[in-house]
């Protein structure tokens, strides 16, 4: 059982979610290779850059979100294989004389054409003046307000690259400036970027003008995969924060960050879906009611902004789905399935971290059965005197809906509750059709 009510727990109190597949881990020197999981993998995309003296390669956090996805294999041409699949060698049928003649004719034609071209070029150069090719003038590529180029020009100055290094591991990610005074500035990024290299790490922030400075951690929230950094550098351009509640499927989206350490990279797409329940982070700690986008997001984009057509930040890029690992740090690149933390939730968490160094999580005061395989979330324990206990929820109840929305499993229940705020009232529907209203309680996180 656990005191963190909304974190489903196993019988051994490891706070795991029912039927959520295993995770990888953030960069650490002792990380070891693990079998390649099948199906889609959601992983925070902080590109790993392990120091040269490290013998191991750190991997990013991962979670399986589908049981079986196709692995596309493209056949390569084998010079020892004929077009009919017969292997070359002593027993291979010889080409006919007509085939040989055709090949020879092609070679001769090429030689003749090449010789002719050389002669023409030589004679032309000897009997003509210097050649000048035409040029164009004026605006050959209009960039109206709201174009991708216009958005990039306005947002890029607020985006930073983040390099985190310790004696045993290293990682890179992205972030953006959310507040700046005359002397200091605050940067929002992912928790897995800020703590990815372990304890006693040095965090370096690199700005678009290529200047850099060391940052300190103001506060982190593992549950939402968010962190705020502070730098002793003032009067910086600040990102404009939008309203993620106004986002609809089909809206234009632009992702900005440092994929694979390539700072200032801009990609565009649309909003593909909303309210995607995504878990990310070590030991399934982060539960994100995510915005899905097909804008290309790759390892290293973590913590960077997802912006709308007005250049307003609507999300914090945090995770991607991939088809499996590749040679590039053990991670595959974008397949058009990226996930961002809605900025309304990120804003609230950032304000808490800046003002108090911690953030509050909404909870209902239950633990969930890890072994339950049916639809919905089955209650395995209650926090005495907690919101659910006061509302009449019983051990063994199965919650099938929250505010009228069906709940597939315990993970989705946790995600939907954490997308709300402390003090909000929700209506839970049980398997027998009965409903209860619960006022969300608080569980503070350092």
Three-state DSSP class for 395?
Answer: coil
**Which one of the listed residues 166, 302, 380, 443 is annotated catalytic?**
302
192 as an active site residue: the answer is: yes
Tally Cβ neighbours within 10 Å of residue 38.
15
Taking the chain, what is the end-to-end CA distance rounded to the nearest angstrom?
21
pLDDT of 154: 94
What pTM did the predictor assign?
A: 0.67
Residue 227 near residue 195 (C-beta atoms within 8 A)? yes
pLDDT of 141: 77
Residue 340's φ and ψ, nearest 5 degrees, are -130, 145
Kindly state the tokens that stand for 95: 């080409």
**Which one of the listed residues 225, 352, 360, 369 is annotated catalytic?**
225
Say how far apart CA 160 and CA 427 lie, in whole Å: 41
Say how far apart CA 393 and CA 205 lie, in whole Å: 48
Choose among 355, 327, 350: nearest CA to 225.
350
225 as an active site residue: the answer is: yes
pLDDT of 253: 96
Residue 263 near residue 300 (C-beta atoms within 8 A)? no
3-state helix, strand, coil in the chain (%, to 5): 20, 30, 50
**Structural domains of the chain ordered from first start:** 1-20+358-446 (2.30.42.10), 148-353 (2.40.10.120)
245 as an active site residue: the answer is: no
List the helix and strand counts (H, then E) for the chain: 6, 22
Per-residue pLDDT of the chain (446 residues; tens, 9 = 90+): 334 334 444 434 333 333 333 333 334 444 444 444 433 344 444 443 444 444 333 333 333 333 333 333 333 334 444 444 444 444 444 444 454 444 444 544 444 444 444 444 445 555 568 988 988 777 777 788 889 999 999 999 999 999 999 988 888 999 999 999 999 999 999 999 998 877 788 999 999 999 999 999 999 998 899 999 999 999 999 999 999 999 999 999 999 999 888 989 999 999 999 999 887 655 446 788 999 999 999 888 999 999 999 999 999 999 888 766 554 455 566 788 999 999 999 999 999 999 998 888 889 999 888 788 889 999 999 988 889 999 999 999 999 999 999 988 888 898 889 888 889 999 999 999 999 999 998 876 43
**Which one of the listed residues 43, 192, 258, 334 is annotated catalytic?**
192
pLDDT of 236: 96
């Amino acid at each position: 059982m656990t005191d963190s009510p909304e974190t489903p727990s196993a019988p051994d109190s490891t706070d795991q979610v029912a039927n959520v597949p295993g995770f990888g881990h953030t960069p650490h020197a002792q990380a070891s290779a693990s079998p390649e999981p099948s199906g889609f993998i959601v992983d925070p995309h902080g590109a790993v850059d392990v120091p040269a003296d490290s013998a191991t390669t750190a991997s990013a956090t991962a979670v399986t979100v589908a049981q079986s996805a196709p692995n596309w294999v493209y056949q390569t041409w084998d010079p020892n294989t004929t077009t009919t699949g017969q292997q070359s060698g002593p027993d291979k049928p010889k080409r006919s004389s007509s085939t040989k003649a055709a090949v020879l004719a092609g070679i001769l034609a090429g030689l003749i054409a090449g010789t002719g071209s050389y002669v023409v070029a030589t004679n032309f150069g000897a009997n003509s003046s210097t050649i000048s090719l035409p040029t164009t003038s004026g605006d050959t590529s209009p960039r109206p307000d709201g174009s991708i180029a216009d958005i990039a020009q306005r947002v890029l100055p607020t985006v930073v690259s983040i390099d985190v290094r310790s004696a045993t591991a290293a990682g890179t990610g992205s972030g953006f400036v959310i507040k700046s005074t005359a002397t200091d500035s605050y940067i929002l990024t992912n928790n897995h970027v800020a703590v990815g290299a372990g304890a006693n790490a040095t965090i370096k922030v690199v700005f678009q003008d290529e200047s850099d400075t060391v940052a300190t951690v103001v506060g982190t929230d593992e549950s939402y995969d968010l962190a705020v950094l502070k730098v002793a550098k003032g009067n910086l351009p600040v990102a404009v924060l939008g309203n993620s509640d106004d986002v609809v499927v089909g809206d234009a989206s632009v992702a900005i960050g440092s994929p694979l350490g390539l700072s200032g990279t801009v990609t565009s797409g649309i909003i593909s879906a909303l309210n995607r329940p995504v878990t990310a982070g070590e030991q399934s700690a982060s539960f994100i009611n995510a915005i899905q986008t097909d804008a290309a997001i790759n390892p290293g984009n973590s913590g960077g902004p997802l912006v709308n057509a007005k250049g307003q930040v609507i999300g914090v890029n945090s995770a991607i789905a991939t088809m499996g690992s590749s040679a590039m740090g053990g991670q595959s690149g974008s397949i058009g399935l990226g996930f961002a933390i809605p900025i309304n939730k990120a804003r609230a968490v950032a304000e808490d971290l800046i003002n108090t160094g911690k953030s509050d999580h909404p909870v209902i005061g239950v633990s969930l059965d890890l072994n339950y395989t049916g639809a919905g979330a089955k209650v395995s324990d209650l926090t005495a005197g907690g919101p659910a206990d006061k509302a009449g929820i019983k051990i063994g109840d199965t919650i099938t809906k929250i505010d009228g929305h069906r709940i597939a499993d315990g993970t989705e229940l946790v995600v939907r509750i954490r997308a709300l705020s402390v003090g909000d009232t929700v209506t839970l529907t049980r398997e027998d059709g009965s409903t209860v209203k619960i006022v969300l309680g608080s569980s503070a996180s350092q």
